[in-house]
Amino acid sequence: MSSVPPTYTAMTLGRHVRRLGWGHACLDAHPVKIALLGPVAWRTPPRHYGPWEQVTGLLAEGLTARGVDVTLFATLDSVTPATLDGVLPRGYAEDPSLDGRVWEAMHVAHALSRSGEFDLVHNHLDWLPLAFAEHCDAPMLTTIHGFSGSAIMPAYARAQSAYVSISDSDRSPDLDYLATVYHGVDLGQLPFDPDGGEGLIAFGRIHPDKGTHTAIEIARLADRPLTICGIVQDERYFAEQVEPHIDGTRVRYVGSVGPVLRGQLLGGSAALLHPIYFDEPFGLSVVESMACGTPVIAFRRGSMPEVVADGTTGYLVDTAAEAASAVAQIGSLDRAQCRKRVRERFSAERMADDYLRLYQEVSLTGSATSGC
């Protein structure tokens, strides 16, 4: 972990802000005040599913531990060492009575109404805050957790915000980026298992994009049992292509799992199957699996060549048949190397350090502007 001052001050973050026209607040020697504008579909950190919430929560913890004055805008039942603020009592995905469109808009409006109190607003909530970036009274930095489609691009193209990608592969040619910052995971919640097990695991939302049906086929070809974990995001797909194969023995489905069971299931497997049919922006479950020592067999799409070291922490393949052949070779990989690579490249500590450096770059170069 790189050396960071015990208290990151605004003098350090923005010594040239007067030249940039961002007002005078950053010139005072007070602890840097960062607003993390988090998602509100789920609690932060999530009880089960919620990758954006998970990353935002870990960043809040890491920044606070480094002396940054952080306010996390999230659901009001969130758990964080940062100052918590928000308007939504709980995640709208956890309560069908809450309209996500309405509450996300109210959440963003509340956070931006306080933006003048901060040295920087770090947006983790996709395009909606960008539509109102002109009303943000502080520089805005946006981490793009993935594009849901081309229809949201006008919000990104017009917004006054600096952008961070979560993998080089997920960059749009129509945007300029400050940097790529890979997501980090909490190694303390992902115990290393040096032995693993005989079974395979598929971990993630159950949707055609994630190739759950193909994971079932790979396990059949490899003659290995398969455990499936994740929320059902496409009910018809689950009913037609996944559920008929679940027998509780060769294929079992355990639903969405929390942090403790996640580490046990991932660590106790021979390999994680990730036969994706879309360009994966990052792949948290892939990193979590490697953190537990379990190699990954993934289709060669999106960020996978950046995340999986082919032949060291897993195998990159193009077909189910190739994946089944890779399963037969999985025992030749060193599980300790999987853990080591995550510690070096994908730790929560490294993520926090990377963002601290970016916050300073935003201030010193004027890569973000505010609506002041």
Provide DSSP, 109-163: HHHHHTGGGSSEEEE-STTHHHHTGGG-SS-EEEEE---S-GGGHHHHHH-S-EE
Domain boundary assignment for the chain: 10-184+347-365, 187-345
What's the pLDDT at 161?
95
Q: Are 358 and 161 in contact (CB under 8 A)?
A: no
Helix axes 212-222, 320-329, angle to 10 degrees: 50
Under the banding of pLDDT at 50, 70 and 90, the label for residue 364 is low
What mean pLDDT do residues 150-171 have?
95
Q: Are 194 and 336 in contact (CB under 8 A)?
A: yes
Same fold: 10-184+347-365 with 187-345: yes
For domain 10-184+347-365, say whether CATH 2.10.60.10 is its number: no
| Of residues 301, 277, 273, the one with CA closest to residue 286 | 273
Helix, strand or coil for residue 345? Answer: helix
pLDDT 10s digits, 222-268: 999 999 999 999 999 999 999 999 999 999 999 999 888 999 999 99
Name residue 162's amino acid: A
Under the banding of pLDDT at 50, 70 and 90, the label for residue 365 is low
pLDDT 10s digits, 125-138: 999 999 999 999 99
CA distance 119 to 24: 10
| Of residues 50, 140, 43, the one with CA closest to residue 84 | 43
CA distance 300 to 310: 10
Residue 218 in this model has a pLDDT that exceeds 80: yes
Domain boundaries 187-345, corresponding CATH code: 3.40.50.2000
Question: Which tokens in the block code for residue 335?
Answer: 């599980």
What's the pLDDT at 361?
84
